[in-house]
Amino acid sequence: MDALDFQYLEKYPENNILSKFQCMEIKLEFFNEFSPQQIYENIKKINDYYGKENHKLDREFKFLDAEAIERFIDITVGKAIAAFYE
């Protein structure tokens, strides 16, 4: 189990929707509201933006692992129940 999305994506990069989106070839000639060129330009902008970004979210600050998250939930729920009955 992965507590955070970036941990999952590091293990299974093939499931990254951004990578799939960047490789898609779409014929967009069915929108009446927008010209196909407008849509293609926006897709390029999105690809350029995410192509430059560093999506590794493993920064210097640390997240709780799955076990610590469960422990936090147990303690918090216990305190909430105790406060309710006081």
Length of the chain: 86
Residue-by-residue DSSP string for 45-67: HHHHHHHHS------SS----HH
Q: What is the pTM of this model?
A: 0.36
Torsion of CA 38, 44, 45, 51, to 10 degrees: 170
pLDDT digits (tens, 9 = 90+) for 10-69: 788 787 777 777 677 777 677 777 777 888 888 888 877 776 656 555 566 667 777 888
Residue reference for tokens 């941990």: 7
H or E stretch at 11: helix 5-11
